[in-house]
Amino acid sequence: MIFGGLFDLDTKIRKLNELELSMNDITFWDNKDKANEVIREVSDLKNIINPLVDLKKELDDNISLLEDDEEIISLLSLEYDKLSSKLEEISLLTYLSCDYDKNNCLLEIHAGAGGTESCDWALMLERMYERYLKKKNYKVELLSMQPGEEVGIKSVMLKVSGLYAYGYLKHEKGVHRLVRISPFDSNKRRHTSFASVEVVPEINEEINIEIKDSDLKIDVYRSSGAGGQSVNTTDSAVRITHIPTSIVVTCQNERSQIQNKQKALEILKSKLYLLELELQKDKIDNLKEGQMTIGFGSAKRSYVMCPYTLVKDNESGYETSNVDAILDGEIDEMIMAGLRR
């Protein structure tokens, strides 16, 4: 009875059978891109179906043992917590059923009001997300990075690859506020710093968005960073500004200017597509909320390290006093709270 509704197991099984049948067609590999998309969808469906089927089997096996035998009932009670935990994990999939939740995503961090303090805070946020994503076995690729003048970073763009990358990270969008004793202040005064986080899904399907050359301002510049395995340090980095919307996209990790331009255009296309969807669905108010000033009065989440310790997410209501663990990437529980909301 728990497998109806949002789980919709029967429909998923029928869809899986249809896709697996299509893979046996002799023309399946005629279109390589479409074939790879089918294979990805089959893998995604199996990741949902298999745990549900296994859980149902365990439940059925336990139910079949239920008798007026106190010893058996005692043994089955030990299984309760394990099965409840499995069911909780599976139920989380119902919160990841929106458009593009399964997709890879682009994670951007921009330092806001606060100068050097905010650049350092942006770097701390990047470290927090990279540690979290590493624990979830996601692949993280640096697309562009602008270092701070003294410390930290002014901005960074990461590509996160893995199942449900966008679904897990989408609620991280917003302004993040840090309150601490500044390590850069000789008088040890308390400072407030801000940084914004933007999360955009990577849209694999063909996007019917027209981009006019006259609407683009394209700048080429020398890539910043450490070079080597990090990013290139040649004049190959590309910055594209979409004049009508003021959307700015940069890319500097590819080996050539042409490749960076192509990647930047793909990212721009995804952003414009999402903007178009929001307009079509009358989500203009939500869109405005996502464009808050990176400063006072607009924080999505606060990280307070002085005079007390507290991390509070203003959208989900999640709170914890363990700031150090959060900044070390232990944010799974907080992200789940955002999904449940």
What's the pLDDT at 229?
44
pLDDT tens, 134-171?
999 999 999 889 999 889 999 999 999 988 899 999 99
What's the pLDDT at 284?
36
pLDDT band (50, 70, 90) for residue 66: low
Cis peptide before 307 (omega within 30 of 0): yes
Residue 209 and residue 288 in one domain: yes
Q: Do residues 140 and 160 make contact, with C-beta atoms less than 8 angstroms apart?
A: yes
Of 335 and 6, more confident:
335
Domain count, the chain: 2
Share of the chain above pLDDT 70, in %: 79
Residue 29 and residue 141 in one domain: no
For 139, the enclosing helix (H) or strand (E) is strand 139-147
**Cα–chain-centroid distance for residue 124?**
17
pLDDT tops 50 at residue 335 = yes
Q: For residue 121, is it within any domain?
A: yes
pLDDT tens, 228-269?
444 555 568 899 999 998 899 988 887 788 888 888 888 888
pLDDT tops 80 at residue 61 = no
What's the pLDDT at 71?
64
Let me know if 150 is exposed, middle or buried by CB neighbors in 10 A (0-12, 13-18, 19+).
exposed
Q: For residue 59, is it within any domain?
A: yes
Of 204 and 159, more confident:
159
What's the pLDDT at 109?
96
pLDDT tops 50 at residue 180 = yes
Residue 73 and residue 37 in one domain: yes
Q: CA-CA distance, 4 to 282, in Å (whole number)? A: 31
Residue 115 and residue 229 in one domain: yes
Q: For residue 100, is it within any domain?
A: no
What's the pLDDT at 115?
82
What's the pLDDT at 227?
44
Share of the chain above pLDDT 90, in %: 36
What's the pLDDT at 135?
93
Single residue among 69, 95, 121 that ends a domain in this structure:
95
pLDDT tens, 83-101?
776 777 677 777 787 778 8
DSSP bridge pairs for 310: 304
> DSSP string of 146-176?
EE-SSSSEEEEEEEEESTTHHHHHGGG-EEE
- Residue whose entry in the numeric block shows the structure tokens 């050359």: 213
Q: For residue 3, is it within any domain?
A: no
What's the pLDDT at 280?
61
pLDDT band (50, 70, 90) for residue 285: very low
Q: What is the CATH number of the domain that holds 42?
A: 1.20.58.410
Q: For residue 86, is it within any domain?
A: yes
What's the pLDDT at 125?
97
Strands 174-181 and 299-304: parallel
Instruction: Please provide the average confidence, as pLDDT, over all residues in the chain.
Output: 82
Which residue in 266, 264, 268, 265 sits closest to 252, CA to CA?
Answer: 264
Full residue range of the structural domain in which residue 273 is found: 105-340
| Radius of gyration over every alpha carbon of the chain, rounded to an integer in angstroms | 23
User: For the residues 297-301, what does the mean pLDDT come to?
Assistant: 80
Residue 197 and residue 280 in one domain: yes
Q: CA-CA distance, 106 to 166, in Å (whole number)? A: 8
**Both structure tokens of 152:** 């930290």
- Residue whose entry in the numeric block shows the structure tokens 């590999």: 29
Residue 115 and residue 261 in one domain: yes
Residue 41 and residue 65 in one domain: yes
Q: For residue 21, is it within any domain?
A: yes
Q: For residue 203, is it within any domain?
A: yes
pLDDT tops 70 at residue 28 = yes
Residue 163 and residue 244 in one domain: yes
Q: What is the CATH number of the domain that holds 286?
A: 3.30.70.1660
What's the pLDDT at 78?
66
Q: For residue 290, is it within any domain?
A: yes
Residue 112 and residue 90 in one domain: no
The SS3 call for residue 329 is coil
Residue 49 and residue 126 in one domain: no
Single residue among 62, 95, 128 that ends a domain in this structure:
95
Residue 52 and residue 152 in one domain: no
pLDDT tops 80 at residue 24 = yes
Residue 184 and residue 117 in one domain: yes
Single residue among 64, 95, 126 that ends a domain in this structure:
95
